């Protein structure tokens, strides 16, 4: 169903925190777009932000007072900062600079913006914008992961030419795209969908199993089907935790994402995310990892001798979850097969102890593609959904889940 922005946004209150980056000028346009959808905007301008746009501009566009400091006696008497942080339906940090996200991730509260972000009990969305190297820096990646795992929706920046002349990810998404993400977030909060009140835990993507610091064992999973299921589940009102292997996909709105690399990390993240009402294990977990990960790059020794690669089996996350005392009431596994698809899926259902195995034929629909034909195999029989886009397949699967819960 197409999202009608105005339906989702009319009458909502957005607290917009403007960080100190050149992309701050786009926040002015965002204020205008949000207001056009019938929502109210209150702006908080950081000291850095004030170097790029003025409080006057934001006050005129929002038709609301602009807050700039913790130490404003008049503001504090009329509207304490705690109250300011609680009266919004959504807090949007745009642009979210590397520094602002670092302080958010660390729980620092040394100005009005970070104090509001620490004091709030409302959902927070951050829209990053920074130089490509700053975005890709391990410290920023860590901070983004921390924020995401604590429930902040961090949008992915756009790719492209930056104000500083470099090229790559780090550009603020266009105001229209930010508006769409805000509408979608508010819509998912509003959605009293069939999965409202349910916590759904999803794994997606491949895992990477290191051989040495530069080589790893991987597979062709793109993560698209798992991410589409996470999006559809959030859209249906569920609280969604998505444990994602290394993929190149944006986080669906309203979804809490935990990034992992190896099967063992995925297993630990699944454990930490419990309890859940429903688990959907879509990830193509590597069955084996190297028995002895070298801590230095393995070199050719010139003799033509090939180094041995001994493998050990990874933990079976799905099978362990099914056996665990904290087993969710509905556990769904996936089976990507190249032959005898349904027979393998039936065998897997019994072997793993899942309630359903969703099978797909990766000989016909190659891993990483856009199309899937899913077969839901359960104790009661097999339902084949037919060939469709991964997004449509996700919506259909979520509908089946809602049907059995009803």
- 3-class SS letters over 177-201: HHHHHHHHHHHHHHCCCCCCCCEEE
Nearer to ligand CTP, 131 or 222 (CB): 222
Shortest separation between residue 401's beta carbon and ligand CTP, angstroms? 15
Shortest separation between residue 34's beta carbon and ligand CTP, angstroms? 40
Nearer to ligand CTP, 301 or 310 (CB): 310
Contact residues: ligand CTP, CB under 6 A? 203, 263, 281, 283, 285, 287, 314, 316-318, 333-336, 348, 352
Displacement of CA 346 from its chain's centroid (Å): 31
Which residues lie below 8 Å from residue 92, measured CB to CB, with a gap of 6+? Answer: 14, 15, 16, 17, 30, 124, 125, 126, 127, 178, 182
- Is 322 assigned a catalytic role? no
Shortest separation between residue 385's beta carbon and ligand CTP, angstroms? 17
Q: Is 93 helix (H, G, I), strand (E, B) or coil?
A: strand
Cβ neighbours around 80 below 10 Å, total? 12
Query: Angle at Cα 22 formed by Cα 29 and Cα 147, nearest 5°?
Result: 85
How long is the chain? Answer: 406
Shortest separation between residue 203's beta carbon and ligand CTP, angstroms? 6
Shortest separation between residue 69's beta carbon and ligand CTP, angstroms? 50
Nearer to ligand CTP, 269 or 281 (CB): 281
Q: Is 36 helix (H, G, I), strand (E, B) or coil?
A: helix
CA distance 126 to 353: 39
Nearer to ligand CTP, 27 or 377 (CB): 377
Main-chain dihedrals φ then ψ at residue 327, nearest 5 degrees:
-60, 125
Displacement of CA 313 from its chain's centroid (Å): 29
Q: Is 169 helix (H, G, I), strand (E, B) or coil?
A: strand
| Choice among 28, 43, 94, 164 that is catalytic | 164
Q: Going along 134-277, which residue ranges are E strands?
A: 153-154, 158-161, 167-171, 199-204, 209-212, 215-217, 239-244, 255-259
Nearer to ligand CTP, 225 or 235 (CB): 225
Shortest separation between residue 304's beta carbon and ligand CTP, angstroms? 33
Nearer to ligand CTP, 82 or 404 (CB): 404
CA distance 130 to 342: 48
Active-site residues: which are they?
164
């Amino acid at each position: 169903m197409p999202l009608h922005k105005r339906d989702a946004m009319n009458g909502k209150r957005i607290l917009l925190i403007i960080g100190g980056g050149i992309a701050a000028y786009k926040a002015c346009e965002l204020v205008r777009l949000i207001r056009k959808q019938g929502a109210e905007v209150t702006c908080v301008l950081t000291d850095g932000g004030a170097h790029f746009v003025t409080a006057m501009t934001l006050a005129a566009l929002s038709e609301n007072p602009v807050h700039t400091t913790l130490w404003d006696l008049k503001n504090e008497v009329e509207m304490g900062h705690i109250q300011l942080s609680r009266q919004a339906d959504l807090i949007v940090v745009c642009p979210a600079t590397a520094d602002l996200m670092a302080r958010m991730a660390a729980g620092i509260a040394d100005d009005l913006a970070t104090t509001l972000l620490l004091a709030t009990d409302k959902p927070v969305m951050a829209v990053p914008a920074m130089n490509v190297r700053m975005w890709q820096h391990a410290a920023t990646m860590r901070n983004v992961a921390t924020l995401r795992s604590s429930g902040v929706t961090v949008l992915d920046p756009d790719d492209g030419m930056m104000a500083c002349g470099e090229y790559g990810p780090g550009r603020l998404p266009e105001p229209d795209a930010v508006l769409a993400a805000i509408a979608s977030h508010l819509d998912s909060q509003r959605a009293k969908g069939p999965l409202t009140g349910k916590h759904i835990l999803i794994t997606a993507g491949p895992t990477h199993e290191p051989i040495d610091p530069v080589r790893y064992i991987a597979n062709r999973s793109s993560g698209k089907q798992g991410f589409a299921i996470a999006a559809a589940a959030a859209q249906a009102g569920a609280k969604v935790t998505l444990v994602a292997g290394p993929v190149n996909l944006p986080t669906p709105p309203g979804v809490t994402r935990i990034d992992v690399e190896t099967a063992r990390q995925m297993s630990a993240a699944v454990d930490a995310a419990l309890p859940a009402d429903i688990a959907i294990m879509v990830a193509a977990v590597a069955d084996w990892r190297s028995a002895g990960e070298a801590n230095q790059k393995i070199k050719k020794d010139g003799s033509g001798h090939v180094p041995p690669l001994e493998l050990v089996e990874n933990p079976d996350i799905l099978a362990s979850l099914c056996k665990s005392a904290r087993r969710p009431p509905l556990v769904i596994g996936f089976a990507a097969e190249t032959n005898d698809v349904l027979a393998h899926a039936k065998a897997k259902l019994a072997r793993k102890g899942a309630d359903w195995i969703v099978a797909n034929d990766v000989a016909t629909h190659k891993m990483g593609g856009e199309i899937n034909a899913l077969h839901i195999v359960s104790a009661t029989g097999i339902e084949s959904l037919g060939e469709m886009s991964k997004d449509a397949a996700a919506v259909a699967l979520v509908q089946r889940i809602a049907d059995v819960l009803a």
